[in-house]
């Protein structure tokens, strides 16, 4: 690969002025108007890149010492080429048409996507729900149906740009005067003007409108789940197709249940006597009444799992579980008879408890230890 000096045809001792002069001359010769050869563009890029490095004293120093710039060659067209008061990309666009000299722009464009959020209850997330929404988006103008014009009138060719949508402008640059194409200010680059715009949409072809719609929120959604509704977003200008509507779900916190993935957790308080003796308890759940069996000798913190009564899996089949955390309630505000009975029970069980022993095991501690590691 030839050096940047070779590319510009100057010696490594060339002054900044000599480098600039050499570059000007080469760049002019490689202008596509003068030199439409297929590799003119590539050579111009190489020449411009060489100039970009050698015209910057700091980059030139790095290049002279390491043989490349910045220790790694990012190639042409990367970031950082537009410094030094000289926009290389602009020159490129001018010479090689990267700026889109491909005729007038179309008025008709696809509309943007729209995003709204909707709140649902936890029960709705468990089973899914149909939700009525008010959506405020642009819609194609019903009066002109997107033509933008009043009645049967039509857009007319722009006099200023002759329908090309672009005007030529002379720009001063290091190469001297170059012509550059810019969107026509009169027709905004469309090549046509609407002389008699539709009253309802002011010639935009779309208006804002509020509409009600009912969406199906599938079972299993969580806060942050987005439902995509194709073509329900903002209508494009001039009858352009609508973007998509995204409905973002927010699930309200529930007074009873805490959700963890697709499992639900809730606490059931049971009296000490029921925990000791065991009992059958009927429970109201999202799925209606359930009988659960509290075994004799139940400890606080034990969990009864009701399989398949959690949240529906959003993808795939089945549901999570409902985990009922049992909380044993110690009696308070006992009358004398109750207190006497309990004292008698304590005596029968030899539980006149006066000496404790600390232990780091069981129940909540075991769980905490699992989570925190050794403690």
Q: Please give the residue ranges that form the binding site for Zn ion (CB under 5 A).
A: 141, 143-144, 158, 160-161, 184, 186-187, 198, 200-201
Kindly tell me which of 179 and 277 has the beta carbon lying closer to Zn ion: 179
Kindly tell me which of 200 and 244 has the beta carbon lying closer to Zn ion: 200
In the bound complex, what is the minimum distance in angstroms from residue 82's beta carbon to Zn ion?
28
3-class DSSP state of 42:
helix
Kindly tell me which of 7 and 184 has the beta carbon lying closer to Zn ion: 184
What are the E-state strand segments in the chain? 114-120, 129-140, 156-157, 166-173, 176-183, 192-193, 206-217, 226-229, 245-251, 258-260, 263-271, 279-285, 288-294, 303-306, 322-329
In the bound complex, what is the minimum distance in angstroms from residue 205's beta carbon to Zn ion?
6
Cα–Cα–Cα angle for 345, 348, 350, rounded to 5 degrees:
105
Residue 286: φ, ψ to 5°:
-60, -25
Kindly tell me which of 155 and 233 has the beta carbon lying closer to Zn ion: 155
- How many helices and strands (H and E) does the chain possess? 9, 15
In the bound complex, what is the minimum distance in angstroms from residue 152's beta carbon to Zn ion?
13
237 near 226, Cβ under 8 Å?
no
Kindly tell me which of 237 and 310 has the beta carbon lying closer to Zn ion: 237
Q: Pairing relation of β-strands 176-183 and 166-173?
A: antiparallel
C-alpha 217/C-alpha 240 separation (Å) is 28
In the bound complex, what is the minimum distance in angstroms from residue 186's beta carbon to Zn ion?
4
Kindly tell me which of 161 and 235 has the beta carbon lying closer to Zn ion: 161
In the bound complex, what is the minimum distance in angstroms from residue 67's beta carbon to Zn ion?
50
Nearest C-alpha neighbor of 204 from the set 163, 159, 160, 143 = 143
In the bound complex, what is the minimum distance in angstroms from residue 201's beta carbon to Zn ion?
3
């Amino acid at each position: 690969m030839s050096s940047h000096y070779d590319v510009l045809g100057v010696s490594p001792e060339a002054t900044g002025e000599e480098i600039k002069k050499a570059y000007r001359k080469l760049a002019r010769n490689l202008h596509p108007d003068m030199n439409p050869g297929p590799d003119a563009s590539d050579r111009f890029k190489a020449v411009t890149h060489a100039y970009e490095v050698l015209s910057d004293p700091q980059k030139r120093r790095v290049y002279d010492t390491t043989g490349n710039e910045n220790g790694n060659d990012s190639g042409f067209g990367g970031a950082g080429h537009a410094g030094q008061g000289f926009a290389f990309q602009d020159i490129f666009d001018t010479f090689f048409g990267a700026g889109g000299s491909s005729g007038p722009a179309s008025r008709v464009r696809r509309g943007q996507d729209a995003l709204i959020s909707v709140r649902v209850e936890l029960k709705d997330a468990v089973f899914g729900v149909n939700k009525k929404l008010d959506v405020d988006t642009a819609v194609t103008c019903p009066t002109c149906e997107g033509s933008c014009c009043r009645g049967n009138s039509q857009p007319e060719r722009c006099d200023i740009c002759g329908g090309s949508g672009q005007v030529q402008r002379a720009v001063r640059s290091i190469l001297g005067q170059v012509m550059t194409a810019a969107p026509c200010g009169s027709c905004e680059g469309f090549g046509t003007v609407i002389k008699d715009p539709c009253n309802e949409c002011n010639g935009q072809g779309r208006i804002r409108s509020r509409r009600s719609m009912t969406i199906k929120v599938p079972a299993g959604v969580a806060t942050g789940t987005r439902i995509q509704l194709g073509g329900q977003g903002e209508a494009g200008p001039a009858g352009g197709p609508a973007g998509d509507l995204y409905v973002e779900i927010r699930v309200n916190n529930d007074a009873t249940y805490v959700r963890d993935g697709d499992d639900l957790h809730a606490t059931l308080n049971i009296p000490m006597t029921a925990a000791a003796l065991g009992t059958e308890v009927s429970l109201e759940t999202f799925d209606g009444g359930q009988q659960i069996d509290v075994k004799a000798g139940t400890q606080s913190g034990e969990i009864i799992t009701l399989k398949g009564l959690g949240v529906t899996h959003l993808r795939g089949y089945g549901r999570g579980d409902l985990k009922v955390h049992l909380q044993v309630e110690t009696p308070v505000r006992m009358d004398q008879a109750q207190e006497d009975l309990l004292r008698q029970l304590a005596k029968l069980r030899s539980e006149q408890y006066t000496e404790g022993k600390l232990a780091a095991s069981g129940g909540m501690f075991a769980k905490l230890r699992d989570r925190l590691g050794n403690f």
